[in-house]
C-alpha cells in the first residue's frame, strides 16, 4: 500500500508539473485559442501569431523569445502563440487547419494586419530573429526597436545607409542636432552611441560588425552587472545598425 501511495504522489507531482508547463508563456506574448482568437486579433494594428506544437522548445522557440523582446516597445503590435495538440481533443487543431498549417511545418508565423482580409505568412528562416523582425517591419509598417534603441535615430541610420557618400555628413549633422531633443539620461546616452557609431561609419564602413564582436567579448568577460547592462544597451543599438545597414527592410 505504501508503494502504491508513493506512486500516486509521484503521478500527482508529474501532473502538476505538466500543468505548470502548459500555463507558461513567453514574457510579452500571449496564448490564443479558438474562443479568443478573433477577439484579440481585431484589437491590434498587427498581430504576429506563431502556430506551433504544444510545449515548444529549442532554438526555434529561443528565436521567438528574441522576436517578442524586439516588439515590446511597439504598443500597436502583439505577439501570440497558438499551441496545437495532436492528442486528446486536439486543441487548436481547427485554427491550424483554417490557416493551412500542417504539423510538419511547425512553427509557422502568420501576421495579421489591420485592414487586410488574410494574414501574411512568413516564408523565411524560423531560426533567424533578425529576418522575422525585418518581415514584421516590412509588412506591418510599424517601427520595432530593441531596448535602448531610439526610433528617430533608427530612421536616420536607414537614411544614412541609402544616402550617397557626399550626403552622409549632412545626415550626421542632423543626428547631432537630434541628440539635443532627448531629456532622459538613458535616451541621451543612447543618442550618443548612435552619433559616435555614425561618425565611425563615415571613416570605416565595416565598423559595426567589428564593434559587435568587441562588445560581445567584453560582455562575456569579468565585468560588473552595471557594466554588463551598459554593454547590452550598446549591443542592442549596434544590432539595430547591423540590421538596417545590411539589407533593405
Q: Which residue has the higher pLDDT, 123 or 19?
A: 123
Whose CA is closest to 70, among 48, 54, 37? 48
C-alpha cell at 225: 552587472
pTM of the shown model: 0.71
Residue 82 contacts residue 32 (beta carbons within 8 Å) = yes
79 and 170 inside one domain: no
161 lies in the same domain as 129 = no
What's the pLDDT tens digit per position in 183-229?
999 999 999 999 999 999 988 989 999 999 999 999 888 899 999 99
Residues spanned by the domain of 86: 27-140
Is residue 10 situated within a structural domain? no
Q: Given 90, 105, 140, which residue is the final one in a domain?
A: 140
Query: In whole angstroms, what is the distance from residue 191 CA to residue 143 CA?
Result: 17
Name the pLDDT band for 244 (thresholds 50, 70, 90): confident
Looking at every residue in the chain, the average pLDDT score rounds to 88
Share of the chain above pLDDT 90, in %: 72
Number of domains present in the structure of the chain: 2
18 within some domain? no
| Residue 123 pLDDT greater than 60, yes or no | yes
Q: What is the CATH number of the domain that holds 229?
A: 1.20.1150.12
Contact of 237 with 148, CB cutoff 8 Å: yes
Same domain as 134, residue 189: no
Q: How crowded is residue 95: how many other Cβ atoms within 10 Å of its Cβ?
A: 19
Evaluate whether residue 186 is within a structural domain: yes
The domain boundary residue, chosen from 117, 140, 163:
140
Amino acid at each position: 500500500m505504501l508503494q502504491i501511495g508513493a506512486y500516486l504522489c509521484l503521478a500527482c507531482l508529474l501532473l502538476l508539473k505538466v500543468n505548470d508547463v502548459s500555463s507558461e508563456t513567453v514574457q510579452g506574448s500571449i496564448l490564443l485559442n479558438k474562443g479568443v482568437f478573433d477577439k484579440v486579433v481585431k484589437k491590434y494594428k498587427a498581430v504576429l501569431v506563431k502556430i506551433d506544437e504544444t510545449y515548444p522548445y529549442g532554438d526555434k522557440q529561443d528565436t521567438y523569445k528574441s522576436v517578442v523582446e524586439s516588439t515590446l516597445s511597439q504598443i500597436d503590435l502583439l505577439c501570440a502563440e497558438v499551441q496545437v495538440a495532436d492528442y486528446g481533443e486536439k486543441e487548436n487543431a481547427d485554427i491550424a487547419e483554417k490557416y493551412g498549417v500542417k504539423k510538419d511545418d511547425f512553427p509557422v508565423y502568420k501576421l495579421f494586419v489591420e485592414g487586410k482580409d488574410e494574414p501574411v505568412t512568413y516564408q523565411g528562416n524560423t531560426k533567424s530573429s533578425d529576418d522575422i523582425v525585418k518581415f514584421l517591419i516590412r509588412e506591418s509598417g510599424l517601427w520595432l526597436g530593441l531596448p535602448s534603441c531610439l526610433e528617430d535615430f533608427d530612421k536616420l541610420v536607414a537614411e544614412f545607409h541609402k544616402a550617397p557618400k557626399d550626403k552622409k555628413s549632412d545626415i550626421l549633422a542632423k543626428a547631432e542636432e537630434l541628440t539635443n531633443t532627448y531629456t532622459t539620461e538613458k535616451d541621451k546616452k543612447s543618442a550618443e552611441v548612435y552619433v559616435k557609431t555614425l561618425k565611425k561609419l563615415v571613416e570605416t564602413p565595416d565598423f559595426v560588425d567589428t564593434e559587435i564582436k568587441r562588445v560581445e567579448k567584453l560582455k562575456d568577460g569579468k565585468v560588473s552587472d552595471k557594466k554588463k547592462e551598459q554593454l547590452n544597451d550598446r549591443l542592442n543599438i549596434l544590432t539595430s545598425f547591423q540590421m538596417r545597414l545590411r539589407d533593405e527592410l
